[in-house]
A and B are shown apart, each in its own frame.
Chain A
Amino acid sequence: MKADQRKLDIRNGCVDLSHGSGGRAMSQLISGLFHEAFGNEWLACGNDQSAFDVGAGRMVMTTDGYVVSPLFFPGGNIGSLAVHGTVNDIAMAGARPLYLSASFIIEEGFRFSDLKMIADSMGEAARAAGVYIITGDTKVVERGKADGLFISTAGVGVVPAGLDLSAGNARVGDRVLISGTLGDHGVAIMSKRQNLAFETEIVSDSASLHDFVASMLAAGGKGIRLMRDPTRGGLAATLNEIAQQSGLGFRLQEAAIPVKPGVAAACELLGLDPLYVANEGKLAAIVAPEVAAAVLAAMRVHPFGRDAAEIGEAVADDHHFVQMATSFGGGRIVDWLSGEQLPRIC
């Protein structure tokens, strides 16, 4: 048997510096673990890059780094997150995601069994999303230099002709829709932090949203002005961003914003506001008033939009404030997050 065909000892082995050195060990790791998990014709060619045909329409491209801690959390792990996050950045343009790249920075001593679990979840998430991980890179760094594992993914997708989702499209009177409960991902991660562990049934909402987006576009057409996924900084950051970019303001109704009781309770305990907590499988859409009801109905029949809600509208405001009528009867600003609410959430 050739040395480079020897199987990795997945159960007991771990990554060492030789697995990033470009030699036989690296080749074993790539073919024995990553190719197996991602398995597709492009990777099988073994080139340093992958070629693919470009179809009609405009291409979109995005990239994202993943440093979440802990690596495994209720509802997913860094691998599934690295696929969902990048797929969603493409999906928010109304695009169909096609191909991903994946780059791994691994700390020596990282267990093969954990790496396999993570790679398998990536493969599974990619297959479920109908995308292919067609190129990648592996680096190994000394112990203490990477806190286990960092993953970086880039993705390309194609936008149907004539579709242009952008903050500049928003108009006064447009409605703000969100696809479901806020803060699930952030709270799921927090519940597993070493010095913060608490019991909760909340799982991360991490998911690929492009099919969901397609069903919304089918219902709302050009009435859908733009979409964003409220990840770090939560819905508050997303709406402030849109307000700045569109030159408008927003007025929200707190009572309409869905938050799971477990998330609300955890936030209460930790002094956090669910509006600022990260989501990984939710989107906010700004839509024309005349299509709002139809889009909302389409969202609610999809599993990712069961709790979808209309939570406010765009208003003229030179200061671009996001204001909210509180459930209690007063008013307040929903400002940008200042400082860091919680590091390494994705």
Chain B
Amino acid sequence: MKYADEFRDKEIALGLAKAIRSEADPEKSYRFMEFCGGHTHAISRYGLEDMLPKNVRMIHGPGCPVCVLPAGRIDMAIRLAERPDVILCVYGDLMRVPGSQGGSLLKAKARGGDVRMVYSTIDAIRVAEEIPGRAVVFFAIGFETTTPPTAVMIRLAEKKQLKNFSVFCNHVLTPPAMQNILESPDIRNIGRVEIDGFVGPGHVSTIIGTEPYEFFAEEFGKPVVIAGFEPLDMMQAILMLVRQVNEHRHEVENQYSRAVTRDGNLRAKEEVSDIFELRDQFEWRGLGLVPYSGLKLKRAYAKYDAEVRFDMNELRVADNPACECGAILRGVKKPVDCQLFGTVCTPETPMGSCMVSSEGACAAHWTYGRFRDHQQRRAS
């Protein structure tokens, strides 16, 4: 496949793996977090862990919008879907995300809620046009990458004068979450920072650019390399991080220069800032309340805000106390360190955020990598 195979070339990969092996200091350990779920998926799907030396470890971050959506927001959506006047349009991977008490949108649909799977934001607009007599709500989730399409859709609804269309906004921001991971008590308490550098998000950075990470790299003294999603992108980014650590640098470097610029997509950023504003705080499954990490619609667009329109109450639900997602997302623990992993918590019956979508740390390890645990056990 053109434009994809070039980035999956085995020979080049082996060359990069060799370079990482020879440049990584065997006396040191390198712990890098890939923030983005897309990167986690690429690492697992292509088996990149097998190509890295033992002292270079990847920690899978919270960058999967489905995974970090708290159970309370799912419960809110379920309540909305139960209203007979509402059609709730959602992306397919949200259907199975567990709310509290075993609920999910899939189950709400089976009980009679009108929940419709859509593949793009425009599909939801189409439903609203086709069925003017009912209120169509789009369940908007995602990082900075998916926020501009939601903004464009609200503009479109305005232009078409659609009165039956609104958005349940769950858009979140990357830089505050990265900051939260380094500032969290888990990491401060044990007195050492477990993360030596970040593989920065690719798609998010096409929108926000590399500039927002500059403060972060400086403030926390951590290198950031923005990377693409193909396996060669990942290998190259890891090599770039190893070099920064070896040279005691902490800069923002851009491996994904074919798509990402320093300033990002100005038009998209403008659209987003016209329509959305920061929430004081937003709950992330696994991380808890993170200040200034979520977006809501500005007051001028309140008629498109489902939370205002349907007077939705914020619901907060505690995660299973045995769930280690918070520690896993921060790199303090590995999936196998959690008692629930692979026992009661599997991709079929996810208990915590990391098991919810294939981009989550636990689901990726379970689906693609768990054979290594058995290999290790046998070896020891």
Contacts and interface: CB of A to CB of B under 8 A. Distances in A.
A327 B48 CA distance: 11
Given A195-B118, A339-B347, A333 B371 contact: yes
A330 B234 CA distance: 13
B10 A332 contact: no
Given A326-B46, A339-B347, A333 B118 contact: no
B10 A328 contact: yes
A335 B366 CA distance: 9
A331 B4 CA distance: 19
A330 B46 contact: yes
Given A195-B123, A339-B96, A330 B49 contact: yes
B8 to A, nearest CB: 6
Contacts of A323: 371
A333 B47 CA distance: 9
B367 A330 contact: no
A338 B13 contact: no
Contacts of B1: 261, 264-265, 268
Interface in A309-339: 319, 321, 323, 325-333, 335, 338-339
Nearest to A331: B47
Interface string B74-88: 000000000000000
Nearest to A335: B367
Interface string B8-52: 101001100100000000000000000000000000111111110
A161 interface: no
B4 A332 contact: no
Contacts of B368: 332-333, 335
A195 B119 contact: yes
B374 interface: yes
Given A195-B118, A328-B10, A333 B370 contact: yes
Contacts of A325: 47
A196 interface: yes
Contacts of A196: 119
B348 interface: yes
Given A195-B119, A261-B1, A329 B51 contact: yes
- Among B45, B119, B366, B371, find the residue whose CB has the most chain A CB atoms closer than 10 A: B371
Interface string B39-71: 000001111111100000000000000000000
Contacts of A338: 346-348, 367
Nearest to A338: B347
B369 interface: yes
Contacts of B49: 330
Interface in B328-359: 346-348
Contacts of B17: 329
B223 interface: no
Contacts of B231: 328
Interface of B: 1, 4, 8, 10, 13-14, 17, 44-51, 96, 118-119, 123, 231, 346-348, 366-371, 374
Given A328-B10, A333-B371, A335-B366, 14 more contacts: A196-B119, A268-B4, A273-B45, A323-B371, A326-B45, A327-B10, A328-B13, A329-B10, A329-B14, A332-B46, A333-B368, A335-B367, A339-B347, A339-B348
Interface of A: 195-196, 261, 264-265, 268, 273, 319, 321, 323, 325-333, 335, 338-339
Per CB-CB distance, the 6 closest pairs between chain A and chain B, nearest first, are A330-B47, A338-B347, A332-B368, A330-B50, A328-B46, A331-B47
18 contacts: A196-B119, A264-B1, A273-B45, A321-B371, A323-B371, A326-B45, A326-B47, A328-B10, A328-B48, A328-B231, A329-B14, A330-B49, A331-B50, A332-B45, A332-B47, A335-B366, A339-B347, A339-B348
